[in-house]
Structure 1
């Protein structure tokens, strides 16, 4: 049985261009402005309309829409639902939407996702049929694609950025930097046959304190330490429609340690290399201790210091999470480019949630249905996005064997 939702009446545009060849080599470079972006912005920049571009044609007549922009995760997602009149196409080539199609999603004329349709669901009755499209951002392919065999070796001495560029280029995915990304080269880089690109990049991002995410143009995002500059306000009694928040302490610790081993040479050997330890303090009121093992060996202690910093990002950054929903998609209705976005920092004032602080937007969910259009922001402590606002550095890292021998027996 098909449940048909009443259609959302919106303006359907004429296609600005047609005949786009759908092939990997003809996809636009992910870091370049999209060719149809000016036309979409001019027509829909100040309207509450989500537009899907497929093969050069723009579609806006959706019954329900959900677009999830995720800056600290590997790829965004989207779900579109619509109803179409019979007859049902008898050939795949006759369908308007096919799995594997390259798509661009615009929210109020602003790019939100560049990726692919991965699922097409169809249900029908005598008069009409409903279609649901499910898709992901282009960087999804990094999560379940193995490193090419010819790329397993030859990476010694590369930075994380160089490694990422090298093992993603065959997928046409660009890697962008945000903030101050640690570009210290790795002495040795080892990749095992069959490892996914995601696994390799995450392993080498941890000892450089790099948060991996994605952007609206289909690029992989390397987020280094950055300043949490606010670009909007969320005010209880003002623009907040509804909200909830949680404060957790099960993932925070009083002391965080990273331990590991380096490999010696004529200038560094013995305990100094075999017993590497770095330490930072956390905010737990209990004497909870976390010890993580750094699985990358290096000739100095730079990597292990960054590794414990990365763990502080994971633990302290997850302490606060707020879900705040606002009406519409724009921070300022008078500006066509002022869409709420993942990756930005907002000042939150909500006495009911006991929040009066700057938080980072890790996820932005744009939805449209019978009740109208809304944006739900998942807000976290700035540390989760490597933001430096109110960032607690804790105590200095420890690496010498003498300091280690004095502190480890009583602290671990």
Structure 2
């Protein structure tokens, strides 16, 4: 029997399955769902009998443990079978329970939320699926109610929560229990330490030239009897800045819900995370699945990397993706670490200057005579 540190254990309907030919298990910020793919080849016995693989069916509830620690809770998502006269081969993929939220459209008739907080909206749309939303160190004000939220036709549960999360300064990912985590700040103490020549099998690093980046999100408000459409457009804005080196980019994005300055500030920070998150990307491969702490690495945890060959020594990178593998080459873990996964930069909020159209609706103007092209190509007043 293999060592517990190198064992993938799947429990389905109370039965435990082990002894796989290959294992690939992935958790990531994006894509969102934990997936585990296993293969097994079994000898055909007397009367065509085979072993454990025939007892695994799509849709079965399942939990997956790696090195004796729970990694994923969900169901059998796919089952692929091939056979000949001597062998029976099966490839099985398990998916986290949150896959249901990624694929299912929102089963609501009204299509609108008024005065609901993010948690309340999540409870409403996730409840029928048996999935919970759990907040982890959320920022102050994350539970503020949204004035109005309209559901897009055919919008999935995850798409709704994802687009609302940027207005509350949180990032979403799943956990080992099949819950959705709304994550704010993260403990910056590294949970893993990798040193060249000690515990790194292979590594690579992509570094981009950092730049001054300004993201501005402009919002609008619903109209009323005392305002005009032009006045409601661009009523508020939020801005996020990140210092770079020698050049800058400025982007403006239109909000997709009625939002105030604080909401737009959080959204601007979210877009800055997307913009800056790939300035440094490091890929680390190490032996085994467990860290020196005896724990499995987790998405969004900070890691320390010291590699002269990569010109890199930092403790400011977070795990964006972790993949555990086991095959004939051995048992290994691949980490993708990035900066700017969950920690936003500086924010500013403002009420932007009125556009010409907005000023025209609130300031009396004396119209001048129009200018047209006259006879002979001359321009003059009518």
| TM class by smaller structure | 0.7 to 0.9
Match for residue 134 of structure 2 among 176, 180, 186? 176
Between the aligned partners of 2:175 and 2:53, the Cα distance in structure 1 is 32
Contact 1:69 1:113 in 2 (8 A): no
Q: Which residue of 1 aligns with 2:248?
A: 287
Alpha-carbon deviation of 1:248?
A: 3.2
Matches within 5 A, 1:104-143: 104-143=63-102
Between the aligned partners of 2:212 and 2:221, the Cα distance in structure 1 is 26
User: Per-residue CA shift, 1:39-98, capped at 9, x if unaligned?
Assistant: xxxxx3xx221111122111121111100022454211111011112159799x992111
Please give the TM-score of this superposition, normalised by the length of structure 2.
0.83
Higher strand proportion, which one? 2
- Based on CA coordinates, which of the two structures has the bigger radius of gyration? 2
Return closer, same or farther for 1:193/1:231 CA change in 2, 3 Å cut-off.
same
SS at match of 1:216: coil
Q: Which residue of 1 aligns with 2:370?
A: none
Q: Which residue of 2 aligns with 1:261?
A: 220
Contact 1:64 1:368 in 2 (8 A): yes
Q: Which residue of 2 aligns with 1:147?
A: 106
Q: Which residue of 1 aligns with 2:37?
A: 79
Return closer, same or farther for 1:134/1:257 CA change in 2, 3 Å cut-off.
same
Between the aligned partners of 2:333 and 2:194, the Cα distance in structure 1 is 12
The runs of at least 4 consecutive aligned structure 1 residues that moved more than 4 Å come to 87-91, 264-273
Between the aligned partners of 2:31 and 2:133, the Cα distance in structure 1 is 14
Q: Which residue of 1 aligns with 2:258?
A: 297
Alpha-carbon deviation of 1:265?
A: 6.6
The unaligned stretches of length 5 or more in structure 1 are 1-8, 12-43, 406-412
Please give the TM-score of this superposition, normalised by the length of structure 1.
0.77
Asked if 1:396 is matched to 2:348, the reply is yes
Q: Which residue of 2 aligns with 1:243?
A: 203
SS at match of 2:334: strand
Contact 2:96 2:178 in 1 (8 A): yes
Alpha-carbon deviation of 1:321?
A: 1.1
Asked if 1:308 is matched to 2:260, the reply is no
Matches within 5 A, 1:310-349: 310-332=270-292, 337-349=294-306
Alpha-carbon deviation of 1:312?
A: 1.0
Between the aligned partners of 1:268 and 1:205, the Cα distance in structure 2 is 29
Alpha-carbon deviation of 1:323?
A: 0.9
Contact 1:147 1:193 in 2 (8 A): no
Q: Which residue of 1 aligns with 2:165?
A: 205
Between the aligned partners of 2:348 and 2:131, the Cα distance in structure 1 is 37
Return closer, same or farther for 1:110/1:267 CA change in 2, 3 Å cut-off.
farther
RMSD over aligned Cα atoms = 2.8
Q: Which residue of 2 aligns with 1:376?
A: 334
Between the aligned partners of 2:333 and 2:237, the Cα distance in structure 1 is 44
Contact 2:217 2:254 in 1 (8 A): yes
Alpha-carbon deviation of 1:149?
A: 2.8
Asked if 1:364 is matched to 2:322, the reply is yes
Contact 1:342 1:362 in 2 (8 A): yes
SS at match of 1:142: helix
Alpha-carbon deviation of 1:277?
A: 2.3
Contact 2:261 2:349 in 1 (8 A): no
Report how many aligned residue pairs link the two structures: 349
The unaligned stretches of length 5 or more in structure 2 are 357-382
